[in-house]
Amino acid sequence: MLSEEKEVYELIASLPIELKKINVLNDITFEAQLLMRSRFVKKINIRYEDFLNLPSISNDKEVLLTTELDNKRFIIYLENGRIISVAMSDPVKGERTVGLKPLAMLILASKSSPIQFKLFEVQPYIEEDRTRETPKSIVREIVEEKKPAEKILEKQRPSSLVEKPVIVKFAEKLVEFREKARKMISDSAPSFGCQLVDLKIGVSKGVIHVKLVVRKKGFFGKCRADELKALLDNDLNLLATMYDLNLPLKIIVSIEK
């Protein structure tokens, strides 16, 4: 793995991503429907360090970010503070790539210079509403992408048989680990008289950092944070082993005052 690429995928692994829905933008019609319900908000410049907080622009709403790089069109779909799907289209070749790879390409490109995106807010679906202005030029681009559909399908079918690059599999394992760890911690905390207040899981310099803030559950008893940490030290290391991550864990548990 190249160190720069590994750094990018470690950043991706720290982002809240709906891995089960990461390929929804593979459906061009679905993308077109989102855009037809969208309202242009503004243009924003996103730097490398901004990607870590990217999901925050979609708190309590659906948004789309679109941009063009090297004659390729990118779109990021976010909802309720989570990245749902990312797609890259090459109109010249009639190719479309969906998943973590397009996101990694954007993040890597942002290390050289900020990327300007168009920000769209997806409006709630109202069947009777036919007056809303839509980004017609973008919808037209999507419809035109359907023309080489046979070519796209031909490229997609064998792709499922081709083994994913090691760096992509590494990132997917990290994302899955984070989701399982989050559930494990939420389920375990009450058994030790604790209530989970905040949880952050990320990767930095080859170490998985798990930082959680807890407080006493109810009026009686106490939050046994040390016992909770001891359990997590064991269980999360086992979980990391299950995913073949081979990364050291650093777990920090603090009690809210």
pLDDT tens sequence across 190-236: 999 999 998 888 877 778 889 999 998 877 779 999 999 998 988 88
pLDDT of residue 24: 92
Q: Cβ(62)–Cβ(79) under 8 Å?
A: yes
| H or E stretch covering 234 | helix 225-242
In sequence order, which residues have a C-beta less than 8 Å from that of residue 198 and are 6 or more positions away? 212, 213
pTM for this entry: 0.57
Read off the pLDDT band of 47 (50, 70, 90). Answer: very high
| pLDDT the model gives residue 165 | 63
CA proximity to 35, closest of 96, 123, 130, 117: 123
Rg of the chain's alpha carbons, rounded to an integer? 21
Instruction: Tokens for 201, please give them.
Output: 């899981």
Least confident of 170-179, 195-204, 247-256: 170-179
Residue 118 pLDDT exceeds 60: yes
Q: Which domains does the chain have, with CATH numbers?
A: 3-162 (no CATH), 168-255 (3.30.300)
What is the reported pLDDT for 162? 53
* pLDDT of 53 strictly over 50: yes
By DSSP bridging, strand 38-46 and strand 194-204 are: unpaired
Task: Find the range with the poorest average confidence among 8-12, 43-47, 200-204.
Answer: 200-204
104-114: pLDDT as tens digits:
999 999 999 99
* Residue of 42, 51, 48, 94 lying closest to 71 (CA atoms): 94
> pLDDT band at 146, cuts 50/70/90?
very low
pLDDT of res. 151: 43
* 95-98 sheet: strands from edge to edge: 38-46, 115-122, 62-69, 72-79, 82-90, 95-98
Question: What letter represents residue 74's amino acid?
Answer: F
What is the pLDDT at residue 48? 93
Percent of the chain with pLDDT over 70: 82
| Mean pLDDT for the chain overall | 80
Cα–Cα distance list, 207 to 15, 165, 199 (Å): 16, 22, 16
pLDDT at residue 242 is higher than 60 = yes
